[in-house]
Amino acid sequence: MSDETPVCSAKGCRADAVWVLAWNNPKIHTPERRKTWLACEEHREHLSQFLGVRGFLKDVVTLAEWESGAAQGA
């Protein structure tokens, strides 16, 4: 496992990730499956909107919450 801080998933962004955007594509994923994108403060809204308009966005939580496992069982 790497000690590097996770970075934002936005194209070209290398900022530290603060948010986890949990999503799935209902056409190809089972309902309980969650894929994740990471987001910095600057890109959280943009990435959330991108997933949201497609009906893919399921949850947005802080990286700390996700890593603690609090959101993964929901």
Q: What is the pLDDT of residues 18-49, one digit of tens each?
A: 999 999 999 999 999 999 999 999 999 999 99
Residue 71 has pLDDT above 80, yes or no: no
Q: Output Rg (C-alpha) for the chain, integer angstroms.
A: 12
pTM of the model: 0.85
Contact 20, 63 (CB under 8 A): yes
pLDDT class for 3, splitting at 50, 70, 90?
low
* Confidence class for position 55, pLDDT limits 50, 70, 90: very high
